[in-house]
Structure 1
Amino acid sequence: MSTRHLFTPIEFNGRTLAHRVALAPMTRARSTQPGDTPNATNARYYAQRASAALIVTEATQISPQGKGYSFTPGIYNDEQVAGWRLVTDAVHAEGGTIFLQLWHVGRMSHPDFHGGALPVAPSAIPFEGQIWKVDPATGVGAMVDCPTPRALTTAEVRQIVEDFRLAARRAREAGFDGVEVHGANGYLIDQFLRTTSNQRDDEYGGSRENRLRFLREVIDAIAGEIGAERTAIRLAPFLTARGMACPDILPTMLEAATFLQSRGIAYLHLVEADWDDAPEFTEAFRRDIRARFTQPIIVAGSYDVAKANWVIGQGYADLVAFGRPFVANPDLPARLANDWPLAELDPATLFGGDERGYTDYPAWSEETLEA
């Protein structure tokens, strides 16, 4: 066990960071409509949280086909690039580092986002999953069931790899320090990794090597475009929800880690299932994946300072990402470092809406404490 903890400096992305508190990617559904375009309000939100060691943005679709939730931003046209430039300029002005999370939801979508066409997936398999969708008639958002998707052709899979590459190029044009590929939580890359969602008979399905092919091609394409040092990925080894309980997933994830280490990517982000009866993220797996991946590891999932200090002290992780606590506490690193009280999150304002519950949470002060 080392003496490192949440407030030990770390070398990351060519900079010396004073602490290890990262902002986890969280869907907030506040892009400008129509067009899924980032805006000045988004820029204020992220700039308020620029004291994070690293900001990972909300998941951002790489193409119209990659969309699965209402009001989420894109990175596939010039208007979206210009909108994201507002964000990166604001964060950099505050001294922050920011990676864009690249997203293709695959089957976690709805025909209403695709002109009535079915969402796409590795295989046309029914599953239980819901997405957040706003009713255009009422303007009210609700969770709705996902239909059985259609299977992608081999040529379509290769086009999505190209879409990831182009999205990474646009992210750099928008001023991001790097990109994080969303390979977790039952979205498209995760769907390819698991036998429960991938039953293809081409080179992208069947064996473990084939199920890893899509992930490898995406990482290779992005690293070839913007550099491995600006390329990262998020994975969810112990996810079972959304039809993702694959018996081969842990060995598959370890093979992925070996590949990612060889590719020299910036970091590996591991999201831990954080609901009450979620599978345990075992210490044995933490040891196994650390043995295969020696670059920075970020972990996320209902961490507090004590648990964060433990996982860093054991050497299992280098940074810890916080989601909901960072929403209500834009100055979260200072609050954690000084043991200041944490503000409560308003869950009713998480998705969609205006600045209420988004940019109006104040930084800590004696006055806010008394209020």
Structure 2
Amino acid sequence: MKKLFKPYNKGPLQLKNHVVMAPMTRSRAINNIPNQLMATYYQQRSGAGLIVTEGTSPSPEGLGYPRIPGIFNDAQVEGWKLVTEAVHEGGSKIFLQLMHTGRIAHSSNLPEGYHVVGLSTVKATGEIYTDTGMLEYSAPTALDKEGIDRIVNDHVKAAENAIAAGFDGVELHGAHGYLLEQSLNPHINNRTDNYSGSTENRSRLTLEIVQKIVASIGADKVGLRISPFLTSNDMPAYEEAEVHETYVHLARKVNQLGIAYLHISNNPGIPEKTHQDIRKSFANTIIYCNGFTAETAEAKLQEESADLVAFGRSFLANPDFMRRIEKNAPLNEPDYNTLYTPGEEGYTDYPELN
């Protein structure tokens, strides 16, 4: 039997196979509250050993996109219970991805009375989806120390809410140009306090949040997603040795905290040395994601550079993805026009094998 299909047992992760469904924003949470339609979507995809949900905001000011879910009020906790119960019925584990969008946001996507915040006032270049069309990113207000403390506490409370909603754990989104990665990048984080400057200072926000969540819900229920050398969402590149040092430092520190996994968003720009040094620095599970086929994922598992492999678009368009790759059946193609629209179309209506 291929490794993809075999059970995975390492530390706190006891999974029915080596496959992870990657987090993907789908914008179906009306009024930012998870619902029965979302429960159906995730249950359809419970062939994965582990599901990581779409990015979910720990606070109102982190809701940078339209109709993304939150985990900061009672209605959201109750809505997420529909999802966790459905996924557990399917025999999968499910982690909630905590995503504060920071400056990658537009004010019209936020609840009334909230504004876009960031580590600094550096505005992102480009446009973001809103329900009235594509608009330029809003200029962020720089967080003061009180604001940073609030961000940390919001993440901890959100993690506690996730456990109350039945999740097996939380994944911190430290990738793809959102708030935590903004704090790591010296071109975006130009503060003059102890949250900027050195590698240690730029890592401080992420590590404070990890440390306090671990203290609250346990290290076995925490993962961290990173995307070294990726420049999506207007993340300026910086010096290779500094990027390498930043992510190896993070890996060492979260390893000391004993978290369940590191989830690496793979890209061709990551040097082999960075891959190797992260692997040496982190003892628990490493998940790789981005661009894998069933064949390349199996090869990645066989060479043991990854413990688990995550698939995104393949699960998006193929609720029965595991059955399809087991039978070597053709895959549905995603409908990119319905990625972020409300409703069932392009969400729960993809055909399954007979």
TM surpasses 0.5: yes
Name 1:346's counterpart in structure 2: 335
| Alignment deviations for residues 319-346 of structure 1 (CA, whole Å, 9 cap, x no partner) | 1111111011111112112211111211
1:7-22 superposed matches below 5 A? 7-12=5-10, 14=12, 16-22=14-20
Q: How far is the alpha carbon of 1:16 from its aligned partner?
A: 4.2
Report how far residue 116 of structure 1 moved: 7.3
The answer as to 2:22 corresponding to 1:31 is no
Report the AA paired with residue 253 of structure 2. Answer: F
Compared CA separation, residues 96 and 18, structure 1 to 2 (3 A) = closer
Q: Which residue of 2 aligns with 1:40?
A: 36
Question: Whole-Å Cα distance in 2 between the matches of residues 353 and 64 of structure 1?
Answer: 20
- Identity among equivalent positions (%) equals 43
Which residue matches 1:369?
A: none
The residue aligned with 1:176 is: 167
Cα offset, 1:118, TM superposition: 4.5
| Other-structure match for 1:139 | none
Deviation, 1:272, is 2.1
Contact kept in structure 2, 1:271 and 1:300, CA below 8 Å: yes
Superposition RMSD on alpha carbons, in Å? Answer: 1.7
User: Is the Cα contact below 8 Å between 1:23 and 1:54 reproduced in 2?
Assistant: yes
Query: Which residue of 2 is the match for residue 250 of structure 1?
Result: 244
Q: Find the aligned partners of 2:235 and 2:46 in 1 and give their Cα distance.
A: 36
Provide the residue aligned with 1:112 in structure 2. Answer: 108
What is the one-letter code of the residue matched to 2:123? Answer: P
Whether 2:307 is the aligned partner of 1:315: answer no
Does structure 2 conserve the Cα–Cα contact (< 8 Å) formed by 1:199 and 1:206?
yes
Per-residue Cα deviation, 1:40-92 (whole angstroms, up to 9, x for no partner): 00000001111101000000011101110001011000000000001001111
Partner Cα distance (2:210, 2:13) in 1: 23
- CA spacing shift, 1:207–1:104, aligned 2, 3 Å: same
Q: Which residue of 1 aligns with 2:60?
A: 64
Distance in 1 between the 2:160 and 2:82 partners? 17
Counterpart of 2:200 in structure 1 is 209
Alpha-carbon distance in structure 2 between the residues aligned to 1:10 and 1:28:
28
Q: Counterparts of 2:245 and 2:13 in 1: how far apart (Å)?
A: 33
Task: Return closer, same or farther for 1:211/1:52 CA change in 2, 3 Å cut-off.
Answer: same
Q: CA deviation at 1:30?
A: 0.3
CA distance in 1, matches of 2:152, 2:13: 30
Distance 1:117 1:99 in 2: 27
Out of 167, 188, 205, the residue aligned to residue 197 of structure 1 is 188
1:128 and 1:243 in contact (8 A); partners too:
no
Name the residue aligned to 1:53: 49
Q: Offset at 1:4?
A: 7.8
Gaps of 5+ in 1: 136-141, 274-278, 366-371
CA distance in 1, matches of 2:273, 2:197: 27
What secondary structure sits across from 1:6 in the alignment? Answer: helix
Which stretch shows the higher mean deviation, 4-13 or 343-352?
A: 4-13
**Residue 137 of structure 2: which of 140, 146, 150 is its match?**
146
Structure 2 partner of 1:127: 124
TM-score (norm 2): 0.94
Distance 1:240 1:358 in 2: 28
Question: Retained in 2: the 8 A contact 1:123–1:198?
Answer: yes
After TM superposition, give the deviation of residue 227 of structure 1 in Å.
Answer: 0.4
1:328 alignment partner, one of 313, 317, 334: 317
CA shift, 1:111, in A, is 1.9
CA contact (8 A) 2:195 2:203 kept: yes
